[in-house]
A and B are shown apart, each in its own frame.
With several copies, the nearest count.
Chain A
Amino acid sequence: MKRMPQMFQRCKDDGSMALVCYLTAGYPDLGRSLEYLLAVDRAGADVIEIGVPFTDPVADGPIIQYTSDHAIRTGTRPNQVFELVRCLRAESDIPIVLMGYYNPIFAMGEGTFVTRAAEAGADGIIVADLPLEESAGMSRACRIKGLDMIQMVTRLTPPERMIIIARESTGYLYLVSRTGTTGKMTQIKPELRQLIGHTKHLAGRLPVVVGFGLSEFMQMQDLRMAGADGAIVGSALLKRMIEGVPPDKVGNYVTKLKQACGSKHH
């Protein structure tokens, strides 16, 4: 069995929710980026999403934009990201998902990009600006190489569309938990609880992972209660990195988050 379903199965067995940690590749530089990734992995993350920096990340908030710009300036391009994946893969068996924008993929060629990602040891790909209508090519390339092509849905996605997207998505379904973009916090409100239930229902057996704006421990518990299969934390980690918090301390924070996800080990 592949790493992704295994991981979800393990969490299920645990009675916990998967913790998905997002870090921008190459921030603050390639070497330290790897240190942070390893620390997050060791601290208990269940999935690692590695952000592929792009000059114009329209779907991301200021924190991810800042780290992306920084990483680009210090030379992080897709090939460097693959190298990072390779290094992480050498140390760990955690599911690795690349998250980025379409233009660098298009520039390299969808096939080449997916092949290299797979060879480096990635398990899946998310493309923030590639909605259903534009993702046929990437889906096919991923299928050929055995990578998950993870799609997104939001509270504005109509039910019929959500069913189709869930059918197209593999690995998990990425549920954007608020109307805005990444990086801003939000309270878990009754509507979100309903949204998760509704999405779970339409997604069938595909795990539903909730993202955008999460950082509070309380939120994790609420999400688990609402039935989410996973929660994504990104800006909250990057914010600490920007503030200079070292890898082990970021790891501690991840451990606590994972505990809030209901890990048996807490």
Chain B
Amino acid sequence: MSRKGRYGEYGGQYMPEILMPALQQLERVYQECKNDKLFQEELEWYHKHYGGRPTPLYYAKRLTESTGGAKIYLKREDLCHGGAHKFNNVMGQALVAKRMGKRHIIAETGAGQHGTATAMAAAVLGLEAEIFMGAEDVKRQKMNVFRMKLMGAKLHEVTTGSCTLKDAMNEALREWAASVETTYYMLGTAGGPHPYPEMVRDFQCVIGNEIRTQLKEMEGKLPDLLVACVGGGSNAIGTFYPFLKDKGVNMLGAEAAGYGIHTGVHSATLTAGTVGVLQGCKSYLLQDEDGMVKPAHSIAPGLDYPGVGPEHSYLKDIKRVVYEGITDEHALESFVTLSRQEGIIPALESAHAVWAGVNRARNMDRDQVVVITVSGRGDKDLEIVHSQGLIK
């Protein structure tokens, strides 16, 4: 990191002045937390007793055999409480909020994953959660809305603009600006202004740290290849970061290529985007030549975002991590394959990583090891996949 909150040229704090004191306070408090044994112990307690950590590292025998190449291990974030790696982040941030004395948490949500995770973390710590969600998404995601309300969160239905994620995020930032002294803003991925990318990455590093310990125990070595899907990039950075210094460990980030990069209908920010500034940080993003942000597409709701966390932009530039676009079609194929061969229904987001990982494993040696992070479970995606008519 060249300077505070920067990853090469990426990152920064591109935010309205009104939020700067809050960001600086957060930065300060987070640094305290990071170095506070009691905080870390409390977080670990929630990991273990509430969240179901450590999650298993599972040797997928049948998938490996049908692939015929490297050994494929799956890091089972789908077994986290709430059904995804989102848990690691919201739990950490909710404890930070509590320490700051902020009992009111706001968060934006698209399909509802981060919203439900936030509601859950707020519930267990006795904080209030207010979830900003576009009216269109509210209509489409009835069950997630119900889940949030069930856990006591207040729904703030956003009726401006396209009534979807982006508008929900704008509205949440406005609300934050209006009540910044008492409100904690819970960001859902390793993006946004400093210190969020760093903080969220730190909270997600439990994924990679566990992989290291578990694989050491099982294979006595480091992985040859790590694979994770990249939406905002939180599960991927959590998987990769602890291995960045290990030269022999290759890394592959699977982005959403949607209908195919060439069609322009995708969310492959790193593969097909250009550098810009969006929602607080400098990073690759999908934009036109005038700097207008382009809509993203992915069959996976959690990958459907035109930006990406700044550290990934840096890792791409320095070629430490390779990023690859995986189409909707291939993701669907892996969704079915993993369900059928391993009895694990992955999130559509994770299915991107599975496809990318299996594809690489095929051309690797049998004594090599690929670890794919299954960021979440696919129950949330059944309607989407069902509507594709793949299974009669």
Establish whether residues B178 and A54, one from each chain, have CB atoms under 8 Å apart when the complex forms.
no
A157 to B169, CA, bound (A): 23
The answer to whether A107 and B17 touch (CB under 8 A), given A56-B170, A133-B12, A179-B177, is no
**Residue A154 lies at the interface, judged by CB distance under 8 Å to chain B:** yes
Q: Which residues on B sit within 8 Å (CB–CB) of A56?
A: 166, 170, 278-279, 293
A134 to B166, CA, bound (A): 23
Among A55, A128, A158, A165, the one with the most B-chain Cβ atoms within 10 Å of its Cβ is A55
**Residue B180 lies at the interface, judged by CB distance under 8 Å to chain A:** yes
| B146: min CB distance to chain A, Å | 27
**Residue B289 lies at the interface, judged by CB distance under 8 Å to chain A:** yes
Closest residue to A153 on the B side, CB-wise? B17
**Residue A185 lies at the interface, judged by CB distance under 8 Å to chain B:** no
Q: Which residues on A sit within 8 Å (CB–CB) of B278?
A: 56, 103
Give which listed residue, A58, A108, A158, contacts B173 with CB less than 8 A.
Answer: A58
A38 to B292, CA, bound (A): 27
The answer to whether A61 and B21 touch (CB under 8 A), given A106-B277, A107-B291, is no
Establish whether residues A54 and B161, one from each chain, have CB atoms under 8 Å apart when the complex forms.
no
Give which listed residue, B17, B177, B277, contacts A103 with CB less than 8 A.
Answer: B277
A79 to B276, CA, bound (A): 18
Q: Which residues on B sit within 8 Å (CB–CB) of A103?
A: 276-278, 287, 291, 293
Closest residue to A69 on the B side, CB-wise? B161
Main secondary structure of the interface of A (DSSP, over half): mixed
Closest residue to A165 on the B side, CB-wise? B17
**Residue A181 lies at the interface, judged by CB distance under 8 Å to chain B:** yes
| B177: min CB distance to chain A, Å | 5
How many chain A residues touch B (Cβ–Cβ < 8 Å)? 44
**B contact residues, range:** 35 or more
| B289: min CB distance to chain A, Å | 7
**Residue A241 lies at the interface, judged by CB distance under 8 Å to chain B:** no
Establish whether residues A66 and B16, one from each chain, have CB atoms under 8 Å apart when the complex forms.
no
Establish whether residues B291 and A106, one from each chain, have CB atoms under 8 Å apart when the complex forms.
yes
A130 to B19, CA, bound (A): 11
A56 to B277, CA, bound (A): 10
Establish whether residues B16 and A72, one from each chain, have CB atoms under 8 Å apart when the complex forms.
no
Tell me the residues in window 275-297 of chain B with beta carbons closer than 8 Å to chain A beta carbons: 275-280, 282, 287, 289-293
Give which listed residue, B20, B178, B287, contacts A181 with CB less than 8 A.
Answer: B178
A158 to B20, CA, bound (A): 10
Establish whether residues B177 and A131, one from each chain, have CB atoms under 8 Å apart when the complex forms.
no
**Residue B359 lies at the interface, judged by CB distance under 8 Å to chain A:** no
Closest residue to A154 on the B side, CB-wise? B18
Q: Which residues on B sit within 8 Å (CB–CB) of A130?
A: 14
The answer to whether A152 and B17 touch (CB under 8 A), given A58-B170, A103-B277, is yes
Tell me the residues in window 1-55 of chain B with beta carbons closer than 8 Å to chain A beta carbons: 12-18, 20-22
A180 to B160, CA, bound (A): 17
A65 to B282, CA, bound (A): 22
The answer to whether A129 and B14 touch (CB under 8 A), given A179-B179, A180-B174, A181-B177, is yes
Q: Mark A50-85, 1 if CB is under 8 A from B, else 0.
A: 000011111101100110010010000111000000
Give which listed residue, B16, B179, B275, contacts A58 with CB less than 8 A.
Answer: B16
Q: Which residues on A sit within 8 Å (CB–CB) of B16?
A: 58-59, 128-129, 131, 152, 181
Establish whether residues B161 and A158, one from each chain, have CB atoms under 8 Å apart when the complex forms.
no
| B95: min CB distance to chain A, Å | 24
A198 to B195, CA, bound (A): 30
**Residue A104 lies at the interface, judged by CB distance under 8 Å to chain B:** yes
| A160: min CB distance to chain B, Å | 12
Closest residue to B194 on the A side, CB-wise? A133
Q: Which residues on A sit within 8 Å (CB–CB) of B166?
A: 55-56
Closest residue to B20 on the A side, CB-wise? A131
Give which listed residue, B17, B160, B169, B287, contacts A176 with CB less than 8 A.
Answer: B17
A57 to B277, CA, bound (A): 12
Instruction: Give 18 A-B contacts (CB < 8 Å), ordered by A residue.
Output: A56-B279, A58-B16, A58-B170, A65-B161, A65-B167, A101-B277, A103-B287, A103-B291, A103-B293, A107-B276, A131-B13, A131-B16, A134-B12, A151-B17, A156-B21, A156-B181, A158-B21, A161-B21
* Interface set of A (CB-CB < 8 Å, partner B): 54-59, 61-62, 65-66, 69, 72, 77-79, 101-108, 128-134, 151-154, 156-158, 161, 165, 176, 178-181
